[in-house]
Structures are given as structure tokens and as C-alpha cells.
Amino acid sequence: MTERMSMVKALNSGLRLAMERDPQVLVMGEDVGRLGGVFRVTEGLQKDFGEGRVMDTPLAESGIVGTAIGLTFRGFRPVIEIQFDGFVYPAYDQIVSQVAKLHFRSRGHVRMPLVIRIPFGGGIGAVEHHSESPEGQFALTAGLKVVSCADPHDAYWMIQQAIASDDPVVFMEPKRRYWESGDVDTGSAALPLWSSRVVRAGSDATLIAYGPMVKTCLDSAEAAREDGLDLEVIDLRTLSPLDLEPVFESVRRTGHAIVVHEAARTLGLGAEIAARVTEECFYSLESPVHRVTGYDLPYPPSRVEHDFLPGLDRILDAVDHARGLRG
């Protein structure tokens, strides 16, 4: 069955199904209950499942994560919401020092079935601390799984898969895509959670992205078609572990790779992907791997954020440079 819905609705539906299946699934966070979350992702859940399973918490991210860790020890599967990306840092120590390491530290005896939902990225005209891209800081932490949905269909399935995982999952949600609608096939077999996928086939260059930048790359590919270029677009979906086999296969065909993300360029995920592609596809590459990213600056005021964020023109410029069409 296919239904048209926004990403917010898809996430809400996925959360609802997970809670119906397993009474040990809990939802926690600031304003997730009566308000339904600032983006309304959890709207209606407290009404239907009660305050004992959908809990409004104090404004204390470290406390939210710490409480969730304790709940996992008692057999619960908490899903916590960090209200905005820039608010996660008070809980950073809990996440990287406890959540990420308890399974290893206990020699496998302790499981950590915890999902940490983080709306991330810019493009919504928000104030300071509301448009960050911290995904790389979690992806480099051993013991954490990090994923990012790019459309409503993946949002619906990936949130359910993340909740079912016995490993801790940092679930990055592209907030600027929350209100965009798409077809969700609720009856299909979902892709494995830790896998990337080709979302647009092409032959002239490979665009590699995740989260909010997937749609931007698809728009760039459509624009490039008018100039006779056929661009392939790959949605990484999983940032840790990276599933790069589809990327390698694509680059071996196209000879060109362009990685796109909102996070800063230096030590961003694009650097790791560029290194891995170069190692695996060196003799197939016709040009160096290019990166189109945010700048190495604090996120700017909203009135100039579109000059900061990767856009269609910057992506197509990188494609032209890679193909040697510009000096």
C-alpha cells in the first residue's frame, strides 16, 4: 500500500507502529508529549499511549540521555528526541563515553537499544544553535551507529529498524525536509538499515550525499540533464557503518565522484569518503574526488545561510571541474 505523506507524518507513523508492536518502546524528550515536539513528529503519541510511555522531560539533555541509559538496563527501548542539533552537546559526554562504550566495556553482556533522534542541518531560517551538522562527530565514535533518512519512505522504515536494533543509533533527521511529501510504500520490504542506495542512475559522474543534500543533488542532476550530462545520485543512508560498495561500483563506471554535505569541509565525512573512493577506485578515476560542503565557519545568520549551504550551482561547478569543462 502506497500513501502520500510528509517526512514528519512518516516518522510519526513509524514511531507509532514500533510502540504498538513493543510495549518496552518509550519516547522521551523536551515537549514531545502534550506539544508533540517542536516539529510535531510525536504529535498524538502521548494521547494514545499515555504519559508513562511518552514523557516530557526537563530541559537537560545530559539528564535525558542518562535516564535513557538506565532504562535500557531495565529492558526498555527508549527513543529520545534532542530538540535541535545544537542542543546535543550537553549530552555529548554521555553519548560518547557511556552509550557508545557500554556494550564493549561489558564484553557483550550489556545491550544499548537506544535511539537518539536529532533534527539536523540548516535551510529553515533558524537562530543560532538550531542549524548544526554534528553527524561526523558521532560517526567517528566507535560503538555508535549513525543513519540519516532523506525522504518520507526511508523515514518511515528506518525509524522502525533503528528502534528494533540492539545497538545505539543516532538518527539524523533533515529538518528542512520535514514538510516535503513523498510516496511511502508501507507494504514493501524495507532496505537493510546499514545500506546505501542509488536513487538516480547516471553515467557521467557520481554525486554522493545523505540527508538534506540528497534532494539538492537530485535537483542538480535534473538541471545537468539540460546540458546533456547524466549524473548518478547515491544516498548513503548509513554514515556509520558506511556502505560504500554501491559508491565504488558507480565510480568505476562514471570515473568521477563528488561528495556533498552541509557539514564543514575539514575532517568532514566527505574526506573519509574521498579517501576510501581513491583507495578502491584509483585506476577508474579520471579526476580527483571533489567535495562540496559547508564552509569551515560557525553557522551564519539565517539571512545569509543559503550562501553557506551547498546548492545547485556549487554542485554543478564541481561536476564541471571534475570533468575538466572549466579551468
Q: What is the CATH number of the domain that holds 253?
A: 3.40.50.920
Q: Do 46 and 20 touch, CB atoms closer than 8 A?
A: no
pTM: 0.96
Give yes or no: residues 139 and 255 share one domain: no
For residue 326, which amino acid is it? R
Give yes or no: residues 23 and 93 share one domain: yes
User: What is residue 324's predicted lDDT score, i.e. its pLDDT?
Assistant: 87
Give yes or no: residues 117 and 208 share one domain: no
Rounded Cα–Cα distance for residues 98 and 47 (Å): 32
Q: What is the pLDDT of residues 136-166, one digit of tens each?
A: 999 999 999 999 999 999 999 999 999 999 9
**Which of 185, 213, 241 is a domain's end point?**
185
In-domain check, residue 60: yes
Q: What is the mean pLDDT of residues 76-97?
A: 97
Give yes or no: residues 260 and 149 share one domain: no
What percent of the chain stands above pLDDT 70? Answer: 99
Domain count within the chain: 2
- Residue 121's contacts (CB-CB under 8 Å, 6 or more residues apart) are 85, 131, 132, 133, 174, 175, 176, 211, 212, 262
**Which of 185, 212, 235 is a domain's end point?**
185
**Catalytic residue flag (residue 130):** yes
Give yes or no: residues 13 and 138 share one domain: yes
**Among the options 130, 153, 256, 261, which is catalytic?**
130
> What average pLDDT is seen over the chain?
96
Q: Could you tell me whether strands 205-209 and 197-200 are parallel, antiparallel, or unpaired per DSSP bridges?
A: unpaired
Give yes or no: residues 228 and 271 share one domain: yes
Give yes or no: residues 57 and 161 share one domain: yes
Instruction: Give the residue numbers spanning the domain of 262.
Output: 197-322
- Confidence grade of residue 327 (pLDDT, cut at 50, 70, 90): very low
pLDDT at position 9 over 50: yes
User: What is residue 137's predicted lDDT score, i.e. its pLDDT?
Assistant: 96
In-domain check, residue 327: no
Give yes or no: residues 14 and 156 share one domain: yes
**Which of 185, 217, 252 is a domain's end point?**
185
In-domain check, residue 246: yes
Q: What is the mean pLDDT of residues 213-232?
A: 97
pLDDT at position 277 over 60: yes
